[in-house]
Structure 1
Amino acid sequence: MTRPTPLPSDLEIASAATLRPVAEVASDLGVAPEHVEPYGRDVAKIDLAAAANEPRGKYVVVSAITPTPLGEGKTTTVVGLTQALRRLGSNAVATLRQPSMGPTFGIKGGAAGGGYSQVVPMERLNLHLTGDFHAITAAHNLLAAAVDNHLHFGNELDLDLRNITWRRVMDVNDRSLRNIVVGMGARADGLVRETGFDITAASEVMVLMTLATSYQDLRARLGRIVVGYTGEGKPVSAEDLGVAGAMAVILRDALKPNLLQTLEGGPALVHCGPFGNIATGTSSVVADQIALSHADLVVTEAGFGADMGAERFFNVKCRVGGLEPDAAVIVTTVRALKVHSGRYDIKAGRPLPESLLAENPDEVRAGLDNLRAHIEIVRAFGVSPVVAINAFPQDHDSEHEVIRELAAEMGVRCAVTRHVAEGGAGAEDLAREVLAAAEEPAAFIPTYALEDSLTDKIEAIATQVYGADGVDYAPAAARALATYENAGFGELPVVIAKTHLSISSDPSLMGAPTGWRLPVREVRANVGAGYVYAIAGDMRTMPGLSRHPNAERIELSADGTITGLS
């Protein structure tokens, strides 16, 4: 058993760190000074011209098994692994998503890593950073305002009021604004209609920023955004409304990735933050292209399990960016595998059951089907998987051994990593396995061809990735798919929104469920982002992030130093 060692809080660890000047961090990465735009002492923007060199680095994605509501440590693993790789002599860089302030002030808390595997400065990363999220919010809402302005002045494009799909966004969890009525008041205050707010991380602008490869590509994607449809079913775009150029100007600086550093002084590019349950769940293509131009090895993260984040990373992000993955890390924990035994129900915000922490290799063994499924998911893409056992102080060696036995049985590399408690030193075994896996021949194979029909793509993901027996379409979803095929959207890739708590669309089904069918109830076209978005199951069963606000746990000292941040 790993001996429990009390750790200082994440904030205490981050606050005690001595940060290197950001210019030195950029120099270590090999970015020329003229491409570095400092934002204060510790953060910089990197100009897109820094990606002009041919990619030279190996490309590794960190995914996971199906997580518990607490998460299994992908971000900490990215940071710890990057630190370990640098300790072993590799010029490695981490590329991560920026945290949304909604979850930061909700049940999830911050997202800068944890323990001695964090990206710093922690406070800036979790709170505003360089204002990218606010620029995305402004660009998104400018388009929303243009829609209502167009309706107010006569609706020349004949937008159907019952089929306007563009809502507003803000970077705060506020359930009372999910569904609202606008245009109340005087006649000059606009047309009365129903709409609502989403969180900024769920904005289509956020996703298309993630996938944009240049300013020209960003501008084109913004123009293709569909805000609604006419009475005859014709899509109406941001280009039709004449607002895409203004949106691109607002996003000019936001398209540049942000350079920060790990606790051990290595470079970390942080950019964009789409959610992994409803969108691509990856950091930006441009951040990875810049990193691959300079680093020996780039470690990036894809949201939630391999059935979600890694699938979209492979099928969407890699395709859009022309990126070739060399290896994939699958993070697993003893506690998650015990949950997949079906004997436990973990709730965020509640203490873990004492029995979950007791030594019980048989319970770990009973949950191994989930890990086995995720290994097969990664292998199906032609990429070498490495199992990372993220060790917690309450784990037992016998439980780790059960996981090692499965990895050996399946012929995949495996290592225990203790990066949270020990920093890069605790992840060196994992780093060695990743370096070896990245040297193995890779033959990247997407799940489907882009010329396949939308229904064929959805069914390929459902059957080949999720292990479903097939797909059942609600009538409205079937009609939407036919409409999108007729509108010329059929060659777009597909993103399926579903629960992250099961490989299936039912969060109560643990392990690797069989004999189930994927229920697609709604389909939307995110044309600007460049994919068709299918909603499977009841997304309302997702745990809310605003039930346990952390705002009262944040305090400032007299000089403005943050002295408390969950």
Structure 2
Amino acid sequence: MAEVKSDIEIARAASPRPIQEIGEKLAIPPESLVPFGHDKAKLSADYISSINGRPDGKLILVTAISPTPAGEGKTTTTVGLGDGLNRIGKKAAICIREPSLGPCFGMKGGAAGGGYAQVIPMEDINLHFTGDFHAITSANNLLSAMVDNHVYWGNGLEFDMRRIVWRRVMDMNDRALREIVCSLGGVSNGFPREGGFDITVASEVMAILCLATDREDLRRRLGNIVVGYRRDRSPVTAREIKADGAMTVLLDQALQPNLVQTLENNPAFIHGGPFANIAHGCNSVIATKTALKLADYVVTEAGFGADLGAEKFFDIKCRKAGLHPDAAVIVATIRAIKHHGGVAKEDLNTENLEALDKGLANLGRHLRNVAKFGVPAVVGINRFLSDTEAEIQAVKDYCAEFGVEAVLCEHWAKGSAGVEELAHKVAALADDGHAQFRTLYEDSMPLWDKLRTVCREIYGAEDAIGDKKVRQQFADYEAAGYGHFPICVAKTQYSFSTDPNLKGAPSDHVVPVREARLSAGAEFIVAICGEIMTMPGLPRTPAAEHIGLDENGEIVGLF
């Protein structure tokens, strides 16, 4: 058997083209690209404004079943499908999120695809890239510094020190920083108070950058951030702190989408990166809208399973940006389905039709859920060597019961040549015009009812529950004029429930809401459920232990 190369080895052996040539595939003039070296660039704001009047291409969402340690390959399929569409003669681009350093050095690893369906330069994309995340971190923490500085110099806005809600961020998993006490050390350091850190991808600034439509909208949203409350419970905003202008300056270049390429030299926009389990899980609106003006087909992804990423893509991103997706791909692997059927990770390479049949309930619920949004779907079976013909046929037969085709995909091993059938099916599905996109709930529905609707319709739950304090938070947000906002649920990605160990398609459970957070600038309400943390911790053996430089100065251990 031939040696299987690692993702970084495959990426390093690629033959990248100058980024201007990639831009030419979308008819982007070289002078409209702001190059970061030879293989990545940002699109200028003036050029983006100049193409606003063009018609939109077809929008295709790639989502997945609930993730497992067995792997699903959603980003890999997104990249492979983009290459596949170009292979069959379509003008296509992909839009994905930027990876976070937290999981890169933690447990998940990188997020640039895999095998022969990757975006490059892989090392740069997974590390500092064009500095967008650092700009977001800086803008977030500038606001934090200005809040504490305002209090130090007299507290003219009359902050209630117990009700400062703005948190600092960093783009790394660090459980020790979840809850802190700051301003210790005497009078010269300010007034001690409790605070905390979130990971950068959970910052409201990240969500704002990914939902803003232009520079003016960015500043408006930043100004609307609620950083704390007075004793009369009235909010204090970033605009009142006079931080919105400086934050906009820090984010001005970061707002411009990044253009890179796939291994097969096709265009890829990688911009923004909110997590789907603690944020809304989609790449930026400005990148998606720009791509739709430049390509006939745009393939984008939403984080984790369809219960989190796809629901938020539809109910938050599409609602706010006026997007109308034309088709969806639900990625599944035989291994992951068997894991949902109760098979241990070490036994997944053995054929087990009984467990497969049981685990298919997870895929089935995702199929029903996507259909509720009026978007036609196809299932992409991301093939592993251990998959048997009987198992593959069982998945195809199951999907046929829903009137959905399941297509075997081998892009990881073969690149675009292994995904031609899926590309043809998806293009036909998008071109048919059968999509009748709709959101799950109306803007006018009460906030708690919106949450209950998501829990019942998407998670299969009996209800959402919260103590008196949490319910009062929802009521207070409505009274303050935020009742029209959508709900962004922060919960585990591993289950339809809030128990990560409850696999398959659990029903009639309850979703406990621990906390509600207002994102007035991003314009949604975050419901924090179960034990989910907005600052993750590192695993017992973090990936960072195996990452380093070899004798030639090349990175090793990054995947």
TM-score when normalising by structure 1: 0.95
CA contact (8 A) 1:65 1:371 kept: yes
Distance verdict in 2 for CA 1:94–1:505, change over 3 Å: same
SS of structure 2 residue aligned to 1:367? helix
List, as ranges, runs of 4+ consecutive aligned residues in structure 1 with deviation greater than 3 Å.
Answer: 540-547, 557-561
- Summarize deviations over 1:63-87 as a string: whole Å, max 9, x none: 0011114541100000011111110
Counterparts of 1:379-528 in structure 2, within 5 Å, are: 379-440=371-432, 441-528=434-521
State the alpha-carbon separation in 2 of the partners of residues 541 and 488 from structure 1. Answer: 26
Letter of the structure 2 residue corresponding to residue 475 of structure 1? K
SS where residue 156 of structure 2 aligns?
A: coil
The match for 1:362 among 338, 354, 372 is 354
Note if contact 2:70-2:335 (Cα within 8 Å) is conserved in structure 1. no
* Cα contact 1:174–1:546 (8 A) shared by 2: no
Q: What is the CA deviation profile of residues 456-487 of structure 1, one whole-angstrom value per residue up to 9, with x for unaligned ones?
A: 21111111111212222221110101110111
Deviation, structure 1 residue 318: 0.7
2:18 is matched with: 21
Structure 2 partner of 1:349: none
Cα pair distance change 1:5/1:362, threshold 3 Å: farther
Q: Give the match's secondary structure for 1:7.
A: coil
Distance 1:524-1:540 versus aligned 2 partners, 3 A rule = closer
Distance 1:373 1:564 in 2: 36
Return the offset for 1:231: 1.5
- Give ranges in structure 1 of 5+ residues lacking alignment: 345-351
Kept in 1: contact 2:88–2:420 (CA 8 A)? yes
Partner-residue secondary structure (3-state), 1:467: coil
| Deviation at residue 179 of structure 1 after TM alignment | 1.8
Instruction: Return the alpha-carbon distance in structure 1 between the equivalents of residues 398 and 551 of structure 2.
Output: 54
**Identical counterparts, % of pairs:** 51
Deviation at 1:553, TM superposition (A): 2.6
Distance 1:540 1:564 in 2: 27
Aligned counterpart, 2:231: 231
Unaligned runs of 5+ in 2: none
> 1:351-387 CA deviation, whole Å, 9 max, x = no partner?
x31x221111221111111111000100000000110
In the TM superposition, 1:271-350 aligns within 5 A as 271-344=271-344
Amino acid at match of 2:360: L
Do 1:69 and 1:501's aligned partners in 2 also have CA atoms closer than 8 Å? no
1:40 aligns with 2:37: yes
> SS of 1:240's equivalent?
helix
What secondary structure is seen at the aligned counterpart in 1 of 2:316? Answer: helix
Tell me how far apart the structure 2 counterparts of residues 546 and 143 of structure 1 sit (CA, whole Å). Answer: 30
Report deviation, 1:219: 0.5
**Partner SS for 1:389:** strand
Deviation digits for residues 66-117 of structure 1 (CA, Å, limit 9, x no counterpart): 1114541100000011111110001111101000111111111111111100
Aligned residues: 555
Q: Contact between 1:260 and 1:269, CA under 8 Å: does it hold in 2? A: yes
* 1:149 CA drift (Å): 0.5
Asked if 1:151 corresponds to 2:137, the answer is: no
Moved more, 280-289 or 389-398: 389-398
Counterparts in 2 of 1:118-129, with a 5 A limit?
118-129=118-129
| Equivalent in the alignment of 2:368 | 376
| 8 Å contact kept, 2:57–2:292 | yes
More displaced, 539-548 or 104-113? 539-548
Q: Aligned equivalents of 1:143 and 1:541: distance in 2?
A: 19
Deviates more, 1:128-137 or 1:51-60: 51-60
Residue 55 of structure 1 deviates from its aligned partner by 3.4
The answer to whether the 8 Å contact 1:5/1:393 transfers is no
Checking the alignment, whether the CA contact within 8 Å between 2:409 and 2:422 is kept in structure 1 is yes
Q: Following superposition of structure 1 onto structure 2, how do residues 48-59 of structure 1 map, counting pairs within 5 Å?
A: 48=45, 49-50=47-48, 51-59=51-59
Cα deviation, residue 43, structure 1: 0.4
When the two chains are superposed, the root-mean-square deviation of aligned CA atoms in Å is 1.6
CA distance in 2, matches of 1:271, 1:542: 21
C-alpha contact (below 8 Å) 1:64/1:330 kept by paired residues: yes
Preserved contact between residue 55 and residue 294 of structure 1 (Cα < 8 Å) = no
Contact 2:173 2:537 (C-alpha < 8 Å) held by counterparts: no
CA 1:277–1:359 in structure 2 vs 1: closer, same or farther (change >3 Å)?
same
User: Residue 392 of structure 1: SS of its match in structure 2?
Assistant: coil
Report the CA distance between 1:240 and its aligned residue.
1.1
Structure 1: which amino acid aligns with 2:540?
Answer: R
- Other-structure match for 1:9: 6
Aligned to 2:191: 191
Q: Measure the CA separation in 2 of the matches of 1:546 and 1:148.
A: 33
Label 1:168 to 1:463 Cα distance change in 2 as closer, same or farther (>3 A): same
For 1:401, the aligned partner's letter is: Q
Residue type at the aligned position of 1:30? A
Rounded to whole Å, the distance in 2 between the matches of 1:311 and 1:5 is 41
Paired AA for residue 471 in structure 1: A
Structure 1 contact 59–325 (Cα < 8 Å) conserved: yes
More displaced stretch, 140-149 vs 452-461: 452-461
Task: State the Cα distance separating 1:560 from its structure 2 match.
Answer: 3.8
* Shift of residue 564, structure 1, vs aligned partner: 4.1
Q: Aligned-pair distance for 1:167?
A: 1.0
**CA distance, structure 1, for counterparts of residue 10 and residue 307 of structure 2:** 33
Give the alignment's TM-score, normalised by structure 2.
0.96
Check whether the contact 1:501–1:507 (CA below 8 A) recurs between aligned residues: yes
| Residue aligning to 2:528 | 535
1:171 positional shift: 1.3
Q: Secondary structure at the match of 1:410?
A: coil
Task: Indicate the larger mover: 192-201 or 262-271.
Answer: 192-201
